[in-house]
Amino acid sequence: MPTSLPSPEKLLGEMLRYRPYTREGQWLCARRIEELVRDCGLGLAATIPYHETKELTARREGDDFPLVKITSEFGPQNGHSREMMTWLGHLDTVDPQPDERDGDAFVIEEITNQHNPETAHLVGKQIGRRRGTDDMWAGNLALLYGLESLRKSGRSNVVVQTILSSREELGSEVLHQAIEDGTVERAKVGATTEILVGDDGKPSPLYRGRTGRIGVDIVTNGEAPHAGAIDRYPEAMRRIADRHFGRLLDEILDDERGFFIPNQYPNDTQGILRTTSRLIPGMGEFSIRGLSPPDQVSKHFDIFHSDPNLDVARVQSSIRRFLQERFQNIIDEIGYNPYEVTQENRRGVPFTDPWITPEDHTLVEVASKAANEIRNENVPIVGASGVAEDGMLFHRLGTKMIGWAPDGKGAHWKEWVVLESIMERAHWLKNLAQFDGKWE
């Protein structure tokens, strides 16, 4: 006799205590999910190890990371084979802030302050606070509870393939390998409870598209004399890398003068994705040599875009031209161009293009009807921001996707999630799997 899953708040706290921002924590989560799937009768679960890769040859570079695949089929088959539907999540989270590493892994809070504009609409409800709640363990649990709802109902019109990858936050090389080797099977349609990105704590909309991403690195070079020499001859400050880097940021991040790339086909965004892309700063590195400024500052930048024809070569050439034009006076003064533009090292994993499931696709219509019934209101349908692994399934396996994240806020920062929305998403997923029409 199958047992029942623990309550969402209990299971969420348990998973976060495993520290899924670490490789070891992701393995603990994967093994626990295997146990839950087996004990609760949710299907057949397998955890497949994938390693960090240097190139597409998948030559071993580092430790193994897990991908969990759950195959679930409920109810009588009625003499015919069922189509497959993919549910998508990921085990890993971003690292917590230093002040989050100690203390409880998960805090449940009942909202009582009706004067706090951030949460006034949630008075009387419970939220869970901790890094990893919003992105995306609340969503992962919704997938598991969705499977449990299907089991209890005894009816599903599809075979559900649930995929929980790892290293999603670090380039998606695990899912990339699983697609390459056929572990992730092709399905006509799929659903994800991944974050919208920019989730504001209000009731989440559905999304039927998401931007793509291209990453570049800009290295700023400069002279690195002894700091005492700069103190003695202040004019040397004009030639150090930090000075050039400061000018670079000032130009790129300016709302009017900054670097922008317009979509060549703005009508293709269907009004749900942005038609102009800009450089967004990411991680940075610099070298230190004693009492000297760094001779090199390296900064990563992302472009989230809606143009499926935008390629890395075009982005790089556009950035180089932008820097050449903006800093020609500095180049003339110091006698060389201090800025080098290179592609992000993807270890052979392609960048993810933007995707849009057509508004009139059956998946969108069914998902919208199910969400509206659950919320008893009209749930908006929008485009999502950032980049996620839904685009990989869309483009590489031809899977039309729809998304509905649990209500939450603060992804990669001070995360929290509305606990009751986990079960809402579970019921939504169940309703998708019980659709008795054709996925066209």
Domain ranges within the chain, ordered by starting residue: 8-211+354-433, 212-343
Range with lowest mean pLDDT among 279-283, 309-313, 329-333, 435-439: 309-313
Predicted confidence at residue 56, as pLDDT, reads 45
Predicted confidence at residue 62, as pLDDT, reads 58
| 225 pLDDT tier (thresholds 50, 70, 90) | confident
Do β-strands 408-409 and 260-262 pair in parallel, antiparallel, or remain unpaired?
unpaired
Q: What residues are paired with 341 via a beta bridge?
A: 218
Q: Is the pLDDT of residue 57 over 50?
A: no
Predicted confidence at residue 54, as pLDDT, reads 57
- pLDDT tens figures, 181-213: 999 999 999 999 999 988 888 999 999 999 999
CATH fold of 212-343 reads: Alpha-Beta Plaits (3.30.70)
| 76 pLDDT tier (thresholds 50, 70, 90) | confident
Q: Is the pLDDT of residue 319 over 50?
A: yes
Residue 334's Cβ-count burial label (10 Å; 0-12, 13-18, 19+) is middle
Among 356, 354, 408, smallest CA distance to 207 is for: 356
Q: Which CATH superfamily is domain 8-211+354-433 in?
A: Zn peptidases (3.40.630.10)
Predicted confidence at residue 59, as pLDDT, reads 47
Mean pLDDT of 146-152: 97
Do β-strands 189-192 and 83-90 pair in parallel, antiparallel, or remain unpaired?
parallel
Cα 358 to Cα 187, 257, 273, 276, 382: the distances in Å are 17, 35, 13, 21, 12
Mean pLDDT of 45-63: 71
CB 126 within 8 A of CB 420: yes
Q: Is the pLDDT of residue 320 over 80?
A: yes
CB 8 within 8 A of CB 141: yes
Mean pLDDT of 364-374: 98
Among 169, 281, 170, smallest CA distance to 217 is for: 281
Mean pLDDT of 298-316: 91
Q: d(Cα 421, Cα 248) in Å, to the nearest integer?
A: 43
Residue 99: its H or E element: none
Q: Which residue has the tokens 């070569």?
A: 313
pTM metric for this prediction: 0.93
